Amino acid sequence: MVGAELLAASAEVIAVRTGRIAHSLAGARGPDLKELSLMGSEKAEALAASAGAALANAEAIGRRLGRAAMDEGAHALHAAAAIGQSRTPAQAAEAQFTYAMGWWSRAARQALTLNDALLTAQAETVAPIHQTATANARRLRKTT
């Protein structure tokens, strides 16, 4: 929904601004400097906010993945110790199997968590651009 709304608002803003620029350049009054300056400053602000959101989310995801890797190292160390302390091949196999099943569960949980974090990052990264484009479309509708 946000993506479609962003595309529609962007197309609307581009069409209105292109028409205004063409009309003002051909007119006696000259270019609409206010609208031309807004085009640059609004884009810069929206992109800066978007980049900030992307960076914050990338840092959070990186920290989460780093913690998961450290935790998994600890699980592997415990499994290696359990395998090494086993008195029979069956005990060693059981310790190995227990680690493998635990790993599978942790990996699946981490994949779901990562997917959720990536979707959140995408939404937060697009939000400033979406807000600017839709606000411009509303503003330009009122002045047309």
Segment 122-132, tens digit of pLDDT:
999 999 999 99
Structural contact between residues 17 and 141, judged by C-beta atoms closer than 8 angstroms = no
Beta carbons of 57 and 126 less than 8 angstroms apart: no
Neighbour-count burial for 95-118, b at 16+ CB within 10 Å, e otherwise: beeebeeeeeeeeeebeeeeeebe
Radius of gyration of the chain (CA): 27
Note the pLDDT of residue 127. 96
Average pLDDT value for residue range 79-98: 97
What pLDDT is recorded for position 37?
80
Give the integer Cα–Cα distance in Å for 134 and 140. 10
DSSP state of 61: H
pLDDT for 57-71, tens place per residue?
Answer: 999 999 999 999 999
Contact 75, 102 (CB under 8 A): yes
Q: What is the mean pLDDT of the segment spanning 35-54? A: 90
CA-CA-CA-CA torsion sign (86, 88, 89, 94): negative
To the nearest whole percent, how much of the chain has pLDDT over 90?
72
Tell me the domain boundaries of the chain: 2-143
Q: What is the pLDDT of residue 49?
A: 97
**Cβ 144 vs Cβ 16: under 8 Å:** yes
